Amino acid sequence: MRTNVSLHRRIAAAAAVVCAAAMMLTGCASGGNGAKGAGTSTSSDGGTTQTFTPASGSSGDIRIASGSENKEVAAAIQQAADASGVTVTMDYMGSLDIMNALESGAAEYDAVWPASSMWISMGDVKHLVKDAQSTSTTPVVFGIAKSKAVQLGWADPSGKTKPVSTADVLAKVQSGDLKFSMTSATQSNSGASAYLAFMTALRGGDGPLAESDLADGTLTASVAQLLKGVDRSSGSSDWLKDMVVKNPDRFDSMVNYESLVIQADKTLVKNGHDPLVAIYPSDGIAVSDSPLGYVDRGQASGKRKAYDAFAKALHSKASKIEFERAGRRTGLGGALTYASDSKVKQAFRAEWGIDTAPSTLKTIPMPAAKTITKALDVYQTELRKPSWTVWVVDYSGSMDGDGKKGVVKGLNAALDPAEAAKTRIQPGSHDVNILIPFESLPHDPIRADGQNTGDLLHTADATDASGGTDIYAGLESAYKQLPGADRKGDYTVAIVLMTDGRSQVDNRDGALAQYKDQGLDVPIFPIMFGDADSSQLDPIAKMSNAKVFDGRTGDLATVFRTVKGFN
């Protein structure tokens, strides 16, 4: 059991592969808050696991399944580890992965720390979680470049904003004036929370969403129209923030946590770019309550003692100040507890549209777990913007045997409707998936519309693995399969490139130049396994504002699921 869960943890958390960069921004790589005598934090598994060691020696240890956004509060975690004398190992992962870990018994975890309580309520079917308590809060907001917010009429040059309703956002999307980036509602808490808030606000009235609301054609049509504004999807809130920071001229609007808007602004301003202005929907907003809870699976009493010591320290003044300096709120109702602290003031800045009045947060009531589950299914199959994905898959000779079996299993996990539904990545009725097997030359493309993926998957299984490897010829073939300019805006478009080897390079310069010359602006997500050469794949991802996924350590089906969270 430990091997499977560990493998799942490493691969499913691959959406946080940019952790190293995030750590440099927040100081967690250097170990805690930098205070004299502080302990240290170390990272492994590509940054998806981080251990905080107390300064004065350890009296116990715990392992926590944590949302990836908690990398941003490393200083608070280190402070609590030092104060409690407890060594804390954080396994950073997506919200769905935390929910799945709970459903399967959370075999190697002593605590869970998701972004929202709803993932505990949905996943804790065995009633393992005890004494869950919010550590901090942060609302899910629109972060819009100040110049863009002024252009929309939602802010003035000082950063002061006017009330903006969800209906106002919908109107700007429908007029073509607003596009935004957002995480997948079925893979990330920020996306799920925003989606539920959109639907609740557009429905109007009081009370949480009910299953009957999901059958309201007028309401669902409005939500689908709003989601047409999504121009890039992501499986990770942290990666989404980093994408905007790295490419502010391309991405000027995102839906994300207020705390990550603050983190983005610190870097944007430092780099001389326009900051994002926080826009708080006036008719309904979701708030992440970041609960930490003990997982009682019959551990020795020392684990509970260590957990209690760490949890108590995490709620101390010293740790709460660090939360607020990172852009989280710790007061009742979303208030700031330490608003007078100079570093807290530097985070919650009015010129960034940050409004610290609790009255700004018109929080939606959360639906029942059953309704959330149904709402996420409706999102995935009916309401989200359709995806257009070109799968460029290596069938060279080295793929014969286990390599090909892994790819076929991964494609089935992502594209077979029944299999994909298990992790809520099933194809929607308007999705387009195109398979291009390649070796020294690309094969003819196989297209699947909607959920009719049987022929595509049969071809993936029936194609022999032989020949050399030319990823660049495969990419040139993929470019020809992208939607035309008149239809591109109707889809979230991506190319997924999978290879286990080192490519011939005769076509490299031509393939990369063609991408730029045609102004494709489509993310290319390489999946690396076997002997794949990262020096060949990294430039492709960088050129296309994407990322490389490392599938060399295990189950490709899990990697494929993670990739689909970005499309």
Whether residue 243 is predicted with pLDDT greater than 50 in this model: the reply is yes
Spelled out in words, what is the top-level CATH class assigned to the domain 386-566? alpha beta
144, exposed or middle or buried, with CB in 10 Å at 0-12, 13-18, 19+? buried
Residue 208 has a pLDDT of 95
Residue 25 has a pLDDT of 30
List the structure tokens of 403: 């390599």
Residue 551 has a pLDDT of 82
- The predicted-structure confidence for 244-273, as pLDDT tens digits, reads as follows 999 999 999 999 999 999 999 999 999 999
pTM of the model: 0.88
- In sequence order, the 6+-apart residues with CB closer than 8 A to the CB of 506 are 470, 472
- The predicted-structure confidence for 473-521, as pLDDT tens digits, reads as follows 999 999 999 999 889 889 999 999 999 888 999 999 999 999 999 999 9
Phi, psi of 234 (to 5 degrees): -155, 155
| Fold matches, 49-136+290-349 and 138-288+351-377 | yes
Residues 40-50: what's their mean pLDDT? Answer: 72
The CATH number assigned to the domain with range 138-288+351-377 reads 3.40.190.10
Residues 396-403: what's their mean pLDDT? Answer: 90
Instruction: List the end-to-end C-alpha distance of the chain, in Å, as a whole number.
Output: 30
- Radius of gyration of the chain measured on its C-alpha atoms: 23
Residue 559 has a pLDDT of 82
Residue 556 has a pLDDT of 72
Mean pLDDT across the chain: 90
Whether residue 539 is predicted with pLDDT greater than 70 in this model: the reply is yes
Residues 227-234: what's their mean pLDDT? Answer: 94
Residue 531 has a pLDDT of 84
Whether residue 32 is predicted with pLDDT greater than 50 in this model: the reply is no
Residue 439 has a pLDDT of 96
Residue 194 to residues 88, 162, 352, 370, 449: CA-CA distances in angstroms?
31, 20, 20, 18, 28
Residue 565 has a pLDDT of 81
List the structure tokens of 306: 């260590």
Residue 33 has a pLDDT of 38
List the structure tokens of 106: 């959370």
Q: Which has the higher per-residue pLDDT, 37 or 141?
A: 141
The SS3 call for residue 339 is coil
- The predicted-structure confidence for 416-468, as pLDDT tens digits, reads as follows 999 999 888 999 999 999 999 999 999 999 999 999 999 999 999 999 999 99
Whether residue 151 is predicted with pLDDT greater than 90 in this model: the reply is yes
Domain regions of the chain by residue span? 49-136+290-349, 138-288+351-377, 386-566
Range with lowest mean pLDDT among 145-154, 304-313, 414-423:
414-423
* pLDDT above 70 as % of the chain: 92
Whether residue 298 is predicted with pLDDT greater than 70 in this model: the reply is yes
Residue 46 has a pLDDT of 57
Fold exhibited by the domain 49-136+290-349:
D-Maltodextrin-Binding Protein; domain 2 (3.40.190)
Whether residue 38 is predicted with pLDDT greater than 70 in this model: the reply is no
List the structure tokens of 543: 């050129």
Residues 132-158: what's their mean pLDDT? Answer: 97
